[in-house]
Structure 1
Amino acid sequence: MIAEVLDAAVRLLVIVTAFLVLPLVAGQMEHKVMAHMQARLGPMCAGGFHGWAQLVADGVKFMQKEEIVPAAADRRVFALAPGVALIPYLLVMVVIPVGPGLVGVDLDAGLFFVLAVMGVGVLGSVMAGWSSGNKYSVLGGIRSAAQLMSYELPLVLAASSVAMAAGTLSLPGIVQAWQWWWLPWQAIGAVVFFVAGLAELRRPPFDMPIADSELVMGPMTEYTGMRFALFMLAEYAGIVVVSALTTVLFLGGWQGPFLPGPVWTLLKVFLLVFVIIWLRVSYPRLREDQLQRLAWVVLVPLALAQLALTGIVRVVAG
């Protein structure tokens, strides 16, 4: 009994540590990659060698800023919104496998759990927009809700294709069932899942809910200090989670030659993090009509086609 409790405590500690460290690594990586791609000098100077202290400087900046609550805000909902945006990603990390046996909880319906909980994170933006007492924040919250409803369907359909191919909803089970020859015939689903995940995170070029040229900062316009920092941490945690899920579902998770399983998982995850950053600096923001058309006219039909192809392959393969 004591051994089981200790094992659960160690797993929980590892998950919490990963949750605190990996999003920060993703944030630091974004600073550096964007600095190289766009010739930004600032992020390369803080602390000397390669701007190693940029992340520390940002943290100190957020801690020093005053926590301001607008007079017209709903104070209780305003204070809860950053936590609602952040906590779902911690819960998702509990069921994502890093290596053989290295998973917080192996749920039989782990994929269903992940998809259900990820949708809750968007409520943080909706709550922030509604409670701020600011018309720009409200518009950003409405756009966040509309974007979730549009992109949740292709995300679920693409994930369902992998579950159908593997014959299980368990994330470790999907990795164990994964084969290299899945790469070509699950490629459509992988692209749909990844793009829909970016849209749910409201990452560029799908950042219409924020749209700083129109809405200042969207739902986060009235947030300052550590509350704003929690929203930023939730964004980077979401980047890690979407990259990790794409790795587990479509890239074989920990599978790979020569290197240990967890190393392969992290390599694949941070390769996808790099792609997310690359997309941010390469493509302009979509208009709202373009964003909705991409979901309903392009991604949903592609996801349905992937489901049909998976069904055919399953029948033919027996």
Structure 2
Amino acid sequence: MPESGVVIVAVGWAVLAGILLCALAYVAVTLDAVLSARQLGVRGGWTAPLSRAARLLRQRRRTTVAADTLLWRVGGAGMFIGAFLTVAVIPMGRWVLADPDVGIVWFNVVDVMVWALVWLTGWGANSAHSLVGGYRFLAHGLAYELPLMFALVAPAIAAGSLGVGDVVAAQDGAWFVVWMPVAFLVYLVGVTGFSVWGPFAPALAADIAGGVLAELSAVDRLVFQAGRYLFLTAGAAFSVPLFLGGGAGPVLPGWAWVLVKTVVVLAVLVWLRRKVPLLRPDRFMEIGWMVLLPAVVAQDLLVSLIVVRGG
């Protein structure tokens, strides 16, 4: 197994990492707004994120009768904070805030937390529509989480380690996306899932008055929505060390290549939101268990055979 080439930096650099995550998330928000405007046949959309944020910050915070305010707030704020926890194990070229031996497991633990956070947001409001939205998300989670776990296993098998730095080092010859494309695609499905994004947004659908978002207002709504974009960004960024060679690339420094690759993956995920219809949880469970799970398990088996054969 190749030695990890990452350098652990001081904890103070976490501020810069958080700023970069927010900046990339803002790029995703802006791109989403521009594409929405074009879909409606109008120009612009570049300033829509700022105007929406300003409107929510000016809005009066409302609540519901007998709401569990603590759980409600924990769910929304947790979406915002959880995304920052994943940044700690994502290398920016050679530099990383932390490189634990179980970095991939750390990422998976944080994304599983989203189950509780979204459900708590739906439960805490004491509203039927919010609660239905929370249960819809749990139904989706049952279908995407296990395939996602097996997708995360594939790079770990190839690298012989659960450390993110070791996974990057193991891609010196060829990026993992080249010989484990199924795991890469299933991973991206999982990213859209825990970001409550695209086809996995029925938890926020109009037929249940916005679902989890139905009773959220003012800064609470802003924080929850920001958390979704931050998780989408963090998921796109984590795909770079897992499957896309980390900071590998010509001319540009490693950290620049990480940013470029992250923006490309993020742009694809934002663009696909309008191309893939919403998936009913019951129907996606069939796809997740009957298609995605067997496919990614077969991918893991193939990777294992290649690793064993190679030495």
TM-score by length of 2: 0.92
- Residue pair 1:84, 1:124 contacting (<8 A) in 2 also: yes
- Residue pair 2:157, 2:303 contacting (<8 A) in 1 also: yes
1:203 corresponds in structure 2 to: 197
Q: Please state whether the residue corresponding to 2:274 is helix, strand or coil.
A: helix
TM-score by length of 1: 0.90
2:103 corresponds in structure 1 to: 110
1:41 corresponds in structure 2 to: 42
Deviation, 1:293, is 1.1
2:6 corresponds in structure 1 to: none
Are residue 68 (structure 1) and residue 69 (structure 2) matched?
no
**Change beyond 3 A, Cα 1:13–1:315:** same
Q: Which amino acid aligns with 1:34?
A: S
Deviation, 1:54, is 2.6
Q: Equivalences for 1:1-318 in 2 at 5 Å?
A: 8-36=10-38, 38-41=39-42, 44=44, 51-100=45-94, 102-178=95-171, 179-180=173-174, 182-212=176-206, 214-318=207-311
**Change beyond 3 A, Cα 1:215–1:107:** same
Q: Which amino acid aligns with 1:41?
A: V
Deviation, 1:40, is 4.3
Q: Provide, for residues 128-170 of structure 1, a one-character-per-residue CA deviation record: whole Å limited to 9, x for no partner.
A: 1111111111111111122222211111101101100011111
Deviation, 1:283, is 2.0
Fraction of identical pairs, as percent: 28
- Residue pair 2:176, 2:242 contacting (<8 A) in 1 also: no
> For residues 248 and 10 of structure 1, what CA distance do their matches in structure 2 show?
22
Q: Please state whether the residue corresponding to 1:122 is helix, strand or coil.
A: helix
- Residue pair 1:126, 1:145 contacting (<8 A) in 2 also: yes
- Residue pair 1:84, 1:123 contacting (<8 A) in 2 also: no
> For residues 27 and 277 of structure 1, what CA distance do their matches in structure 2 show?
9
> For residues 175 and 91 of structure 2, what CA distance do their matches in structure 1 show?
21
Q: Which amino acid aligns with 2:42?
A: L
Deviation, 1:181, is 5.8
- Residue pair 1:109, 1:169 contacting (<8 A) in 2 also: yes
> For residues 287 and 118 of structure 1, what CA distance do their matches in structure 2 show?
21
**Change beyond 3 A, Cα 1:181–1:126:** closer
> For residues 200 and 93 of structure 2, what CA distance do their matches in structure 1 show?
32
> For residues 76 and 205 of structure 1, what CA distance do their matches in structure 2 show?
30
Q: Please state whether the residue corresponding to 2:96 is helix, strand or coil.
A: coil
Q: Please state whether the residue corresponding to 1:168 is helix, strand or coil.
A: coil
Deviation, 1:25, is 2.1
Segment drifting more, 77-86 vs 249-258: 77-86
Deviation, 1:315, is 1.2
Q: Please state whether the residue corresponding to 2:273 is helix, strand or coil.
A: helix
Deviation, 1:32, is 2.0
Q: How many corresponding residue pairs?
A: 302
CA root-mean-square deviation: 1.6
Answer 1 or 2: higher relative contact order, Cα 8 Å, separation at least 6.
2
Q: Which sections of structure 1, spanning at least 5 residues, go unmatched?
A: 1-6, 45-50
Deviation, 1:118, is 1.4
- Residue pair 1:209, 1:219 contacting (<8 A) in 2 also: yes
Q: Which sections of structure 2, spanning at least 5 residues, go unmatched?
A: 1-8
> For residues 106 and 268 of structure 1, what CA distance do their matches in structure 2 show?
21
Segment drifting more, 51-60 vs 151-160: 51-60
Q: Which amino acid aligns with 1:14?
A: L
**Change beyond 3 A, Cα 1:72–1:139:** same
Tell me which stretches of 4 or more aligned residues in structure 1 moved more than 6 Å: none
Deviation, 1:34, is 3.4
- Residue pair 1:188, 1:302 contacting (<8 A) in 2 also: yes
Segment drifting more, 282-291 vs 304-313: 282-291
- Residue pair 1:157, 1:304 contacting (<8 A) in 2 also: yes
